[in-house]
Amino acid sequence: MRQLRRNWPFHLMILPSLLFLVVFNYIPMAGIVMAFQDYKPWFGIAGSEWVGFDNFRYLFERQDSLQVIMNTLIIAVLKIVFNLIVPFTFAIFLNEVRKRFFKSFVQTLVYLPHFLSWVILGGILLNILSTDGGFVNRVLVSLFGIEPIFFLGDGDWFRFTVVVSDIWKEFGYGAIVFLAALANVNPSLYEAAEVDGASRLKQTLHITVPSMIPIAVVVGTLSLGNILNAGFDQIFNLYNPLVYQKGDIIDTFVYRTAILNGEMGFGTAIGLFKSVIGMILIVISYRFAYKLANYRIF
């Protein structure tokens, strides 16, 4: 009690965040009941018919549900892999830059896309990837003689576009953690290697890269918890009915089935299924991070 009386201003400071968490995260959990009901808005939760696990059974019986889960896994895994490899490689190259002004300029330039919403970037991509005069297709036609590519209307090209655009948006921001790891490398290691006659390439391979491996393991393992999060904002702003078969993910599928089609019980069941799997993967990923890199939060 003595500590509570002494630190009450700090507890008061976190009160708004705590209220926000309760109102928008914990109270809505009561809606999970809808996953076990044939929910009708005019009857409400109390009056809707209880159907048990029928919504979950229906989830695994519907062909489009299984396709959506597969799409989510493919897109999410590609994003996780390349959003680890590209920032890792970029941080190595940027670390070799000796001119501080140019290094800072490049860092700022590649950070900027992270702070733009997918609403803005979606509009930009729709314009530059258009088959009707889009910049990318005009370059392909004029320089390489390639027929215009329907990037956002062909399923395979849509996946490619989603992954590449996400990498472009996030790799600069993702490189921060690797650059922070490199800032902690003892400069005497490079000096000793240089005295021994090691070239810059050998210094990179034997000092820089090994110094980054532990944090790469942590980032990679913690990313496993997001394996069912393929990016609702991005997909929602880029997809269309032509690419549903290859580009539809769990979150957009839930939006269409629950909000647009009114199948709220079924949509809630899909969301609950995703949340449970995500929680299990997060627990597993933290265990891996602790075992492989001695990373722990508590």
Q: Over the stretch 205-254, which tens digit does the pLDDT of each residue have? A: 888 888 888 888 888 877 877 777 888 889 998 888 888 888 888 888 88
287 band by pLDDT with thresholds 50, 70 and 90: confident
What is the pLDDT, as a whole number, of residue 295?
Answer: 65
pLDDT at 183: 81
Predicted confidence at residue 244, as pLDDT, reads 87
Q: What percent of the chain has pLDDT over 70?
A: 96
How many angstroms separate the Cα of 31 from the Cα of each of 36, 40, 45, 66, 119? Answer: 10, 13, 8, 24, 28
- pLDDT band of residue 298 (cuts 50, 70, 90) is low
Predicted TM-score of the model (pTM): 0.84
- Highest mean pLDDT of the ranges 185-189, 195-199, 238-242: 238-242
pLDDT digits (tens, 9 = 90+) for 251-286: 888 888 888 888 888 888 888 888 888 888 888 877
Per-residue pLDDT, 85: 92
Q: Look at 87-91, 185-189, 246-250 and tell me which has the smallest mean pLDDT.
A: 185-189
- Which pLDDT does position 279 carry in this prediction? 83
Q: Which domains does the chain have, with CATH numbers?
A: 34-41+49-293 (1.10.3720.10)
- Residue 197, helix vs strand vs coil: coil
Beta carbons within 10 angstroms of residue 3's beta carbon: 7
Q: Determine the Cα–Cα distance for residues 67 and 57; give it in Å rounded to an integer.
A: 15
Q: What is the DSSP-derived secondary structure letter of residue 130?
A: -
DSSP letters of 18-37?
HHHHIIIIIGGGGGGGGGGE
Instruction: Name residue, tokens 């940027």.
Output: 94
How confident is the model at residue 284, as a pLDDT? 81
- Tokens representing 209 are 């890269």
What distance, in Å, lies between the first and last C-alpha atoms of the chain? 24
Average of pLDDT values for 31-58?
Answer: 84
Tens of pLDDT along 144-170? 878 888 888 888 889 999 999 999 999
User: What is the reported pLDDT for 26?
Assistant: 87
Question: For residue 86, what pLDDT is reported?
Answer: 93
What is the structure's pLDDT at 297?
60
User: Using CA atoms, how far apart are residues 16 and 20, in angstroms rounded to an integer?
Assistant: 6
User: What pLDDT, on the 0 to 100 scale, is given for residue 296?
Assistant: 66
Compute the mean pLDDT over every residue in the chain, rounded to the nearest whole number. Answer: 84
Neighbour tally for 138: CB within 10 Å? 13
pLDDT at site 209? 85
Encode 208-246: b = buried (16+ Cβ within 10 Å), e = exposed.
Answer: beebbeebbbbbbbbbbbbbbbbbeebbbbbbeeebbeb
